[in-house]
Structures are given as C-alpha cells and as structure tokens.
Amino acid sequence: MNSHLNRRQIMALAGSAIAASAPALSGRTPADQPAPPNSANGGRDLKIADLEFTEVHGHYEAEAGVNGQYQVNPLDIYDDLRRGVYEDRPGGMKKRAIKAIYLRISANGGAFGLYGPIDREAAIVVSEEIRSFVIGKDALAGEALWDKMYRSNRHSRDGIFMMAISAVDNALWDLRGRYYGVPVYRFLGGPTRESVEVYASCLGFSLQPDAVRKRCLSIQKEGYRYQKWFLAYGPGSGPEGMRKNIELVRILRETLGNDTELMFDSFSGWDLGYALEWAHQVEKYRPRWMEESTHPEKIESFATLRRSTTIPVAAGEHFYGRWEVERYLQAEALSVVQADPEWCGGISELLKIGTVASLHDVPVIPHGHSIHAALHVIASQSPMTFPLAEYLINKMKSYYHFEKNPPVPERAHLALPQGPGFSIELDPAKIESQAVLKWS
C-alpha cells in the first residue's frame, strides 16, 4: 500500500477518474436491489466483496443571484483575497448542473451498503488506499474493521484519510442495517425520541439589514427555535467590519425577541483578540454560542476565550477523532463539540466522541455537512449529550437531489427513518447520466 499520498497527488488522481464501460447503476439504483435475507448463521460468512463509487449527474432549478453571501475565512487578512460587500441580485429561476458520488459496499450473498454523497478527495483515498485492504474482511465486525483501517496508514489520524475511513464506516453501518432489516439508530440503542430537532443554519443568506430581518422572521415562523448566522468580516476588514459583525447580532436579537436562540460562526477567520473584542460587545444579546473563532489547532486560544466571556464556545467540525476532542475538553476549551461523522471517523467514532463529551457534561451537536449519519446517532443517544442536529437550509435544497426521500424538516424536526439502514434510495428519474469512478 502507498502510505505517502499527499494533497497534490490526490488532486492529480482526481483528474484521472474514468467512467467504466458499463454504468454502475445500469438504470437501476443500488437501493432497488432486493434486500438479502437475514443470516441464519449470525453473519459469520458476511465478507466484503467490493467497494464501488458511482457518480451521478443531473440538473435542478434554483433562483439565480441570491443566497450567495460569503462568510469570513482565514484568507480574508489578505487585501487581494478579501471579497467586497455581498448583495442579492435576483435573476430568476435557472437550471444548474449537479453531481454526487455514492459509495456502494458489496458483500457475499447479495448484501450491500450505500452511502453518500461522498467528498471526491475521500473517495480517491478509499479507492487507492482502503479498498484492497478491506476486501475479504468481516462486514459485521465494525469495531475491528475501524481499528484496522485506522492502523493501516501512518496518516490515518486526521485529514483526508480520516474522511475516507468515515465514508467506509458509514456505508458499513448501512449494510448492517439493510442486512438485518432495521434502521441504523436501532443498532445504536435507539430511538431516544420520536423526532430530532434541528437548528436553522443560515449560510448564504444576505447580511443586508433588511434582508436579515425578513429572513430571520420567516425562519422563526417555520418553527425553528435556534438560528445560526455566519459572520462576514474579520481583522482584515478593520473597524467597519467589526461594527457590521456587532450590528448583525443586534438586528437579529431585536427582530426575533428573546425566545429564539442565536448562534454565530466565524469559520476560523478571526484571532483571539478579535474574538474577545466581538464577544464583549455582544454578550448583552446572549448568543447561544460563538463558533470556530480561530484555527482549531489553537487550543489555548479557545480555552482563554471560554474563560473570558459569558458566551459559550463551540468548535469541532474539523476535529478528527476522540483524542483531539479529549484534549480540548481537558483544557476546558469548549462548551459545545461539533464533530462531523463525515469527517471525524464515521458513526463509530462519533459515538466514542459522545461518550468522551458526556464525561465532561458537554453536548455534541454534529456539524451538518451531511445529515444521514448524524441523524441516526442523535436519534439513538441521550438528548442530554446529543440534543440537536444542524440543518444547512440553502445547501440542503439540492444536496440530496438524487435521493427519493431526502431528509426534510417539518416544524424544525426530522422524522426518524423507518426503513433499513439509512433508507437511502436513489431516484432514477433524476439521474441523467452515471459512471463508475476508478483512479489509477
């Protein structure tokens, strides 16, 4: 096995993805295949036979010129990379191309698991580094298989390799659920509630004051008790940017009143001094948390921030594994852990992160890059440890475009799936073309 792939090599491999001679789904989605019967021998012979990535292509309609508000990011300290003020400019409905990658893991006897969408860079590592390693191994021995994947590569502890482990782990949970005919949350000990409450994650919505007032009230009327807004300015924008960041909090609080919780995300675009200045200015508006105020490796900055403000401190979407979470919690640096099961090691690792966090009485509210895995973990665990899910309103309008039954909240709650596994089923009517992806 090649354990030395770097970022440049991975991106080069991405450009060499080729379509197989026959499309993977052949006009029939993997979820349409007949489910294998329950095993009479406890699954002792359920060995992994193959891992296959299929990229599906299509189009969807969306309003042009709106919901493109950027958030502050670490590069904004550079004048030539910092963007100007954003403003919606509606341009009518337009068709947009969309594609998504799904991972299918097959085992003997017709058993399979399906998961996605998968990040392309993770799919490449699975294909190049993990696929051959896991073929022939026991698909039901989840703990051993996760540990073996983790031990198989010197770079497995974080980054793209951990994202790849996450993709395989999540697909295997789906396989087990389909194999035994139950939702994943049943395997994990649930359900612990009838539905999972979500908070409205408002990435992309215009931060123009009138637009904010209109949008936040609309979201409140839809039943959301929690709203997270994304701050657009950082140290590079000077005093004017700070004023706008503070003004956003004031507008939201005055518009929504005291019954809506407000959270704010700065995507590692600040430093400790900037975060403290903002926090002290907006504490009177009682934010529910301030998120990713600086780079995730700066544990002491997070700890100092938490000691120095009444605003709870959140982070974790860029954490990789229970060990990093434990270091943060030992340093008393976090009030909320936001580990993402698409990136932190999959469902298997998110469960362990939840156990670690529960020892410190710190809640885990998973980052919402995707929903399927996080939803099933939350539904299976104590509401004290896993109280909420994140729902990125704009992203989710198209993210699950190819699925027949995408997770959509009603009155800010997601119903628990009743089908086996994650209940992912692709819709052939939305797939215009498809190809098996291979990297060489």
SS3 category, 433: strand
Tokens found for residue 323: 């060990």
What stretch of H or E contains 338?
A: none
- Rounded Cα gap, residues 336 and 315, in angstroms: 7
SS3 category, 294: coil
What local confidence, expressed as pLDDT, does residue 439 receive? 87
What local confidence, expressed as pLDDT, does residue 13 receive? 43
What local confidence, expressed as pLDDT, does residue 331 receive? 98
Tokens found for residue 124: 């490449």
pTM for the full predicted model: 0.92
What local confidence, expressed as pLDDT, does residue 149 receive? 97
Give backbone dihedrals phi and psi of 320, rounded to 5 degrees, phi first: -130, 90
What local confidence, expressed as pLDDT, does residue 44 receive? 67
Helix, strand counts (H, E) of the chain = 14, 13
**Paired residues of 409 in beta bridges:** none
Q: Which of 20, 31, 96 lies closest to 58 in space, CA to CA?
A: 96
- Rounded Cα gap, residues 440 and 75, in angstroms: 33
**Paired residues of 415 in beta bridges:** 195
Instruction: Please return the burial class of 358, using the count of CB atoms within 10 Å of its CB with bins 0-12, 13-18 and 19+.
Output: middle
Q: Which of 340, 374, 29 lies closest to 173 in space, CA to CA?
A: 374
- Rounded Cα gap, residues 53 and 437, in angstroms: 5
CB 364 within 8 A of CB 339: yes
DSSP 5-16: --HHHHHHHHTT
Query: What domains lie within the chain, and their CATH numbers?
Result: 7-64+95-181+429-438 (3.30.390.10), 186-427 (3.20.20.120)
Instruction: Please return the burial class of 427, using the count of CB atoms within 10 Å of its CB with bins 0-12, 13-18 and 19+.
Output: middle
The pLDDT tens digits along the chain (440 residues) read 444 444 444 444 444 443 433 344 433 344 444 444 544 455 567 999 999 999 999 999 999 999 999 999 999 999 999 999 999 999 999 999 999 999 999 999 999 999 999 999 999 999 999 999 999 999 999 999 999 999 999 999 999 999 999 999 999 999 999 999 999 999 999 999 999 999 999 999 999 999 999 999 999 999 999 999 999 999 999 999 999 999 999 999 999 999 999 999 999 999 999 999 999 999 999 999 999 999 999 999 999 999 999 999 999 999 999 999 999 999 999 999 999 999 999 999 999 999 999 999 999 999 999 999 999 999 999 999 999 999 999 999 999 999 999 999 999 999 999 999 999 999 999 999 999 999 86
3-state secondary structure 221-269: HCCCCEEEEECCCCHHHHHHHHHHHHHHHHHHHHHHCCCCEEEEECCCC
CB 278 within 8 A of CB 237: no
Instruction: Please return the burial class of 292, using the count of CB atoms within 10 Å of its CB with bins 0-12, 13-18 and 19+.
Output: buried
Q: Which of 170, 222, 172, 219 lies closest to 377 in space, CA to CA?
A: 170
CB atoms within 10 A of CB 8: 8
Place of tokens 């993210």: 399
Roughly how many angstroms between the first and final C-alpha of the chain, as a whole number?
Answer: 13
What local confidence, expressed as pLDDT, does residue 408 receive? 98
What local confidence, expressed as pLDDT, does residue 440 receive? 60
CB atoms within 10 A of CB 203: 18
- Rounded Cα gap, residues 206 and 71, in angstroms: 10
- Rounded Cα gap, residues 39 and 41, in angstroms: 5
Q: Residue 268 is which amino acid?
A: S
SS3 category, 119: coil
What local confidence, expressed as pLDDT, does residue 45 receive? 77
- Rounded Cα gap, residues 325 and 384, in angstroms: 18
Distance of CA 287 to the CA centre of its chain: 23
